[in-house]
Amino acid sequence: MSDETLISALVDAVGADHVKQDADELGYYGSDRCRGTWSVDPRVIVLPKTVEQVQAVVRAAASASAKIVPSGGRTGLTGAATATGGEVVLSLERMNRILSVDVPGQTLRCEAGATVEAVQIAAAAEDLLYPVDFAAKGSAQIGGSIATNAGGVKVLRYGSTRSWVSGLDVVTASGELLHLGGSLVKDNTGYDLRQLFIGAEGTLGIIVGATMRLCTPPKGLLVALCSVPSDAHVLSLFTRARRELPLQAFECFDQGCLKHVLEHRGITGRGPFAEPSPQHVLIEIEIDGHGDDAQERAHDLLTLCLADAQDAGEIEDAVVAATAAQAHDLWDYREGISESLHGHTPHKSDIALPISEVTAFLEVWRPAVAKALPDAEALVFGHVGDGNLHLNVLKPPAESAESFVARAKAFDEETYALVQRFGGSVSAEHGIGLLKRDHLHFTRSDGELTMMRAIKAALDPRGMFNPGKVLPA
Ligand SMILES: Cc1cc2nc3c(=O)[nH]c(=O)nc-3n(C[C@H](O)[C@H](O)[C@H](O)COP(=O)(O)OP(=O)(O)OC[C@H]3O[C@@H](n4cnc5c(N)ncnc54)[C@H](O)[C@@H]3O)c2cc1C
């Protein structure tokens, strides 16, 4: 099929207004947050409105031997939604309806292009909670978050997106629509195909709709920020907190991260604590019950735990938020980190470790950075309760971006070899995409890679969906 015939088939499928070929739109829809890392070269953008239109686009692309990049909110951080080789970009943007909320069953049905935030809002309107929460939720779509198995700040309490997918509607490489699961709580009927599409980064099929699980929201939350004398004390504090507190989140960030947040916000004073300290931990706990009594009980539980931690030398200082506004301000120190590093060309790695190995890993990784990149600032923050660290190395101001990226990428090999040595994963929550494809072998064995390739060949025999992503050539 010629280019012209493909475009005309796509126009028949979705209407001329929803087939885009001008340069601005090719650039806009053709890449994700990794803009500038790879050359962006889609052939055409299509924006279907219905499942039938998605099926027609898949069939048209298959007849033309064209490739398809499924595209969600394009907030991904690994290049997984970037079109680099003349693909059809299929954006789910117009398929964004919340279809229904089943209150007794605590589930919500929506189209794949609904944003994570829209799902949270629809759940909250029924006094229910969709608990997967991350900073890009206003743009990230439920389909994209399923395709990347997104995590976020509440994984410790609620798990990743995978835990919340009850049913999926998927368009396969033949254009067939599969309904995988639904709102059943129990269903033990052979292979759970739905799981294959979660975290597959659009390489096996297109998610067009989902049934998401919801839950009862906590009655209230209490937040504290602690200054901590070392990486090792973060782990002992976590061990204590996990035993004694109903944890919702347990996040850490080092002194370098705090310094950048304060600088970025133009805060010249001392920040949350009188004395600087190597590490900081944000603890959020659930309040069990309504009213002042419940609030006081939770407060007593938290302050007692923090006092014991201080006696044991695990924390130097702590502040407990007295109001929702103060809690928001404390979270702001943690959530402002990515934005504050943006202007410093950070080289980032999102890794996972067994929780008990977090300190041992940092004891080796920090000196390794100091040796290999002595002029670069190394910063660590992350979701300690999930063993998920975000490692950042900042470009020295005088160095060109090109030279720094080359040095930092060479150092990645050392980082991922260490991750492997400590039994970790090269990607905790951001996925593989293009960015980590060639590092997948540090986490996955040859046997696993062979089986992944067999699954890809079975579900997408012509390699139509998201070519070049996830699996190394
Ligand atoms: C500021 C910021 C903070 C972030 N914080 C977190 C965090 O805390 N935790 C976390 O896990 N991630 C985080 N991310 C990464 C990102 O937001 C998530 O990976 C998100 O789930 C991506 O959703 P999306 O709709 O933007 O997907 P996209 O970026 O559009 O696509 C991601 C992948 O999914 C595929 N895809 C998209 N839609 C579909 C579909 N309907 N069917 C099949 N495949 C599809 C794409 O082809 C691509 O492979 C953050 C990103 C930013 C910018």
User: 362-411 pLDDT, tens per residue?
Assistant: 999 999 999 999 999 999 999 999 999 999 999 999 999 899 999 999 99
β partners of residue 111: 209
Q: Is 159 exposed, middle or buried (0-12, 13-18, 19+ CB in 10 A)?
A: middle
From residue 219, give the alpha-carbon distance in Å to each of 72, 134, 153, 248, 292.
Answer: 33, 21, 18, 12, 12
CA of 77, closest atom in ligand 1:
15
Residues 108/82, Cβ–Cβ less than 8 Å = no
From residue 41, give the alpha-carbon distance in Å to each of 22, 70, 314.
Answer: 12, 15, 52
Per-residue pLDDT averaged across 28-34, rounded? 91
Whole-model pTM: value is 0.96
Band the pLDDT of 267: cuts 50, 70, 90.
Answer: confident
CA of 92, closest atom in ligand 1:
41
pLDDT > 70? residue 131: yes
Ligand 1 mean position to 151 CA, how many Å?
10
Distance CA 364, CA 410 (A): 17
Q: Please indicate whether residue 202, judged by its CB atom, sits closer than 6 Å to ligand 1.
A: yes
Ligand 1 mean position to 32 CA, how many Å?
9
Per-residue pLDDT averaged across 150-174, rounded? 97
Band the pLDDT of 94: cuts 50, 70, 90.
Answer: very high
Ligand 1 mean position to 196 CA, how many Å?
17
Q: Please indicate whether residue 120, judged by its CB atom, sits closer than 6 Å to ligand 1.
A: no
Best of 119, 134, 464 for a ligand 1 pocket test (most atoms within 8 Å of beta carbon) = 134
Query: Which residue's CA is the nearest one to ligand 1's atom 19?
Result: 76
pLDDT for the residue 80: 97
Strands ordered across the beta sheet of 107-111: 98-102, 107-111, 206-213, 165-171, 177-181
How confident is the prediction for the chain on average, in pLDDT? 95
Q: Please indicate whether residue 74, judged by its CB atom, sits closer than 6 Å to ligand 1.
A: yes
Three-state secondary structure of the chain: CCHHHHHHHHHHHHCHHHEECCHHHHHHHCCCCCCCCCCCCCCEEECCCCHHHHHHHHHHHHHCCCCEEEECCCCCCCCCCCCCCCCEEEECCCCCCEEEEECCCCEEEEECCCEHHHHHHHHHHCCCECCCCCCCCCCCEHHHHHHCCCCCCCHHHHCCHHHHEEEEEEECCCCCEEEEECCCCCCCCCCCHHHHHCCCCCCCCEEEEEEEECECCCCEEEEEEEEECCHHHHHHHHHHHHHHCCEEEEEEEEHHHHHHHHHHCCCCCCCCCCCCCCEEEEEEEEECCCHHHHHHHHHHHHHHHHHHHHHCCCCCEEEECCCHHHHHHHHHHHHCHHHHHHHHCEEEEEEECCHHHHHHHHHHHHHHHHHHCCCCEEEEEEEHHHCEEEEEEECCCCCCHHHHHHHHHHHHHHHHHHHHHCCCECCCCCCCCCCCHHHHHHCCCHHHHHHHHHHHHHHCCCCCECCCCCCCC
Q: Which of 34, 35, 4 is nearest to 21 (CA)?
A: 4
pLDDT > 80? residue 78: yes
Band the pLDDT of 3: cuts 50, 70, 90.
Answer: confident
> Tokens 């340069």 correspond to what residue?
23
**C-beta atoms surrounding 349 within 10 Å:** 24
Q: Please indicate whether residue 71, judged by its CB atom, sits closer than 6 Å to ligand 1.
A: yes
pLDDT > 90? residue 117: yes
**231-244 helix and 291-311 helix, angle to the nearest 10 degrees:** 140
Q: Provide the phi-psi class of 323: left if phi over 0, else alpha when psi is between -120 and 50, else beta.
A: beta
Ligand 1 mean position to 84 CA, how many Å?
18
Ligand 1 mean position to 146 CA, how many Å?
8
Query: Which residue's CA is the nearest one to ligand 1's atom 16?
Result: 76
Domains located in the chain, CATH noted: 3-91 (3.30.43.10), 98-213 (3.30.465.10), 220-338 (3.30.70.2190), 345-442 (3.30.70.2740)
Query: Which residue's CA is the nearest one to ligand 1's atom 2?
Result: 136
Q: Which of 272, 281, 306, 305 is nearest to 228 (CA)?
A: 281
Ligand 1 mean position to 457 CA, how many Å?
24
Best of 33, 58, 75, 434 for a ligand 1 pocket test (most atoms within 8 Å of beta carbon) = 75
CA of 152, closest atom in ligand 1:
8
Band the pLDDT of 1: cuts 50, 70, 90.
Answer: low
Distance CA 266, CA 284 (A): 26
What lies within 8 Å, CB to CB, of 174 at 6+ separation is: 58, 62
Residues 89/47, Cβ–Cβ less than 8 Å = no
CA of 208, closest atom in ligand 1:
41
Q: Please indicate whether residue 346, judged by its CB atom, sits closer than 6 Å to ligand 1.
A: no
Q: Please indicate whether residue 70, judged by its CB atom, sits closer than 6 Å to ligand 1.
A: yes
Q: Please indicate whether residue 430, judged by its CB atom, sits closer than 6 Å to ligand 1.
A: yes
pLDDT > 70? residue 127: yes
Per-residue pLDDT averaged across 80-96, rounded? 97
pLDDT > 80? residue 24: yes
Best of 31, 54, 55, 148 for a ligand 1 pocket test (most atoms within 8 Å of beta carbon) = 148
Ligand 1 mean position to 74 CA, how many Å?
6
pLDDT > 70? residue 223: yes
Distance CA 324, CA 130 (A): 20
Band the pLDDT of 430: cuts 50, 70, 90.
Answer: very high
Ligand 1 mean position to 286 CA, how many Å?
28
- List of long-range contacts for 320-323, beta carbons under 8 Å, 24+ apart: 320/222, 320/223, 320/224, 321/222, 321/223, 321/224
Q: Please indicate whether residue 115, judged by its CB atom, sits closer than 6 Å to ligand 1.
A: no
Q: Please indicate whether residue 381, judged by its CB atom, sits closer than 6 Å to ligand 1.
A: no
Q: Please indicate whether residue 75, judged by its CB atom, sits closer than 6 Å to ligand 1.
A: yes
Q: Which of 47, 34, 12, 109 is nearest to 78 (CA)?
A: 34
Query: Which residue's CA is the nearest one to ligand 1's atom 20?
Result: 145
